[in-house]
Amino acid sequence: MNFIRATGSFLVIFCLGITAPLYAADNDSTGGTSKAVLVTGASSGIGLHIAETLAANGYFVFAGARKLEDIAALNKVPNVQGIRLDVTVQSEIDAAVATVRKSGKGLYGLVNNAGVLITGPSIEVDVENVKWLFDVNVFGVYRVTQAFAPLIIEGKGRIAMIGSIAGNIGIEFLGPYSMSMHAIEGYTDALASEMERFGVHVSVVAAGDYASNIWKNDIARAKAKEIVSPDSPYAEDYHRWIDFVASAEFGEPIAVADAVRDALSAEQPKRRYLVVPNAEEMAWVTSSAVRRLAELNGDHEFSYSTEELTNLIRSSIANESGIEPKAD
């Protein structure tokens, strides 16, 4: 299934860490020598894969989670310390900063993974729900990054945003979510420019369709007709879409965690990591980017010729890969 195509006007929590201060555990088996990383929304799904992958590869992970039982489970993972962290509550963010400082490990990496999903017809989704989505997906990332920036700067470290292919394209029934992910794309570029002077790299991982348990309750709500009203002009398409979501199968987000590891460890990390499970999604994202370029070039006095655009693309490919592309 296409994760971006398959969602509904329901609210889905993607690994959000919520509640009060911290739940600490002496769980460092590295002798205190590993680089420390904070992963928000680490209780399940992509966030848990990231936390486990980093912990297994020499990092000490402060893992944000919402429930006490999730924090307890995270504390059982070697080199992981569970933290109560709601990215919408400044006092909890401040408490997390204090705990990381008190640990004496510093902070080399910040992985902004916590996020939520609202989908449905853009002209029908309630504004209050959209505000909630932005409070987590955009302002939550902004709050956490501001709070931990001094520690990251001290360690000349790395920041990785977990975005989505929805941040590069606008999809039917994903208007609010796509808006928030486009914001993360823009924030990544601005932050990268501003942090460069401190020797800090910033990357965004645009993830495609991978396994998650986030659909269960919302698919049930959709099938109970609690999402789109029966008289909505979108009702038939929406419920056909929900049936498709319910029957879809996804692979584990191992590649997403690997991309994060590269963003934290590579000598020259990429600004963008596109991580998709198949060629179809790759074509979907890249063709959308090319179409947008063509639309922006448009028909005005400053338009580039086809040859000029081709040369710009070739130059960008060379700058990204370090390899001069072959001529046709």
Residues involved in catalysis = 177
Task: With beta carbons less than 8 A apart as the criterion, state whether 105 and 78 touch.
Answer: no
Give CA separation, 164 vs 144, 161, 262, 275, in Å.
19, 10, 17, 9
Asked if residues 195 and 202 have their Cβ atoms less than 8 Å apart, the reply is yes
Q: Give me the sign of the Cα torsion angle 141, 144, 150, 156.
A: negative
The answer to whether the Cα torsion of 16, 18, 21, 23 is positive or negative is negative
Report helix, strand and coil shares of the chain as percent, to nearest 5.
Answer: 45, 15, 40
Six-digit token pair at 83? 């933290």
- In angstroms, the CA 194 to CA 299 distance is 34
Instruction: Sort residue 115 into left (φ over 0), alpha (ψ -120 to 50) or beta.
Output: beta
Cβ–Cβ under 8 Å, residues 64 and 41: yes
Whether residue 65 contacts residue 13, with contact meaning beta carbons closer than 8 Å, is answered with no
